[in-house]
Amino acid sequence: MMKITSRNLNVFYEDFHALINVNLDIREHAITAFIGSSGCGKTTLLRCFNRMNDLIDGAKVHGEVRLDGKNIYPDGGDLLALRRKVGMVFQRPNPFPLSIFDNCIYGPRVHGTKERKKLEVISEHALSAVLLWEELKDRLDRPALELTGEQQQRLCIARLLAVNAEVLLMDEPCSTLDPIATQKIEELLVKLKKDYTIVIVTHNMQQAARISDSTGFFLMGEMVEFGTTKKLFRSPKHKRTQDYLEGRFG
């Protein structure tokens, strides 16, 4: 089952052609990784999937992106509903300067859930899903900024799960974490893919190889190659992919 498909997707920042003709199918309940050097367009692509590029001055998106078969770039589409379904985790853990509990239920509250009981249930579910509940259940009213970087990143993921996101977009979610924390987050992602569709941008090729099912390799705004992770890493079809994987550039 394909969750997200893109056809002839082009993105411009003013005159800069940031993404060139991207055609891609992202499978449901799998982890898809985008690799490539800085500025190759992988984050831009990620931000197309929840229309975060709309926030950038001078950004123009042409082509088609479909979520569950429905175009997400129609005129007057429901941006807010889209973003509830397609959540985003950023490079640097960015919990709000609020309590752990308030962070967790921020989304539901914004969407109008007021009942304390309901919110408590939601927070327990979300925190359990990211394996934080046992650790934190006794200090939900503590500031989220007291948590370690890894816990903060988990909390940021929980924040998305609390609004029933279906797709988790992750923009280098481990780049500010140490190796042990990184490993724990990776284990979490593998566990979460049963219920969610995960798209992850990473600088770290080993990370893509370890956890992803499919991988796309990007270079200068083009998607050079896309395929199952096994195939792409073992026998890349393109010379440029092979060069990158062998560390000749990037």
Partner 1 sequence: MNPKFIQKIASVALGTAMLVTLSVLIFIIFYILYQGLPIVSMEFLTTPIRDMGKSGGIFPTIISTFYLAFLSICIAAPLGIGTAVFLTEYTRENTVTRVIRFTTDCLAGIPSIIFGLFGFVFFVIYLGFGWSILAGSLTLATMMLPTIIRTSEEAIRAVPEGFREVTYGLGGSKWQSVTEIVLPKAFPGILTGIILSMGRAVSETAALIFTAGMSLHTPVSVLSSGRSMAVHFYTIAREGISLQMAFGTAAVLIVTISIINISSYLLMHKYMRKYA
Q: Which of 42, 84, 154, 193 binds partner 1 (CB under 8 A)?
A: 84
13 binds partner 1 (CB under 8 A): no
Distance CA 44, CA 11 (A): 8
Asked whether 171 and 88 are in contact (CB, 8 A), the reply is: yes
Output the smallest distance, CB 30 to partner 1, in A: 21
Pick 54 or 195: Cβ nearer partner 1? 54
Distance CA 137, CA 127 (A): 9
Q: Which of 20, 98, 181, 220 binds partner 1 (CB under 8 A)?
A: 98
9 binds partner 1 (CB under 8 A): no
Three-class SS state of 69:
coil
Q: What is the end-to-end Cα distance of the chain in Å, rounded?
A: 33
Applying CB under 8 A, the span of 132-140, 159-167, 202-210, 220-228 interacting with partner 1 comes to 159-167
Distance CA 1, CA 145 (A): 39
Pick 87 or 221: Cβ nearer partner 1? 87
35 binds partner 1 (CB under 8 A): no
Q: Which of 5, 94, 113, 175 binds partner 1 (CB under 8 A)?
A: 94
Distance CA 107, CA 22 (A): 31
Applying CB under 8 A, the span of 7-15, 119-127, 155-163, 216-224 interacting with partner 1 comes to 155-163
Which residues are CB-contacts of 242 (< 8 A; sequence separation ≥ 6)? 236
Q: Which of 61, 127, 129, 160 binds partner 1 (CB under 8 A)?
A: 160
Burial 157-192 (b: 16+ CB within 10 A, else e): bbbbbbbebbbbbbbbbbebbeeebbebbbebbeeb
Asked whether 150 and 132 are in contact (CB, 8 A), the reply is: no
Output the smallest distance, CB 54 to partner 1, in A: 9
Q: Which of 4, 159, 186, 229 binds partner 1 (CB under 8 A)?
A: 159
Binding site for partner 1 (CB under 8 A): 50, 52, 55, 57, 80-85, 87-88, 90, 92, 94, 96-98, 106-107, 109-111, 143, 145, 156, 159-160, 163
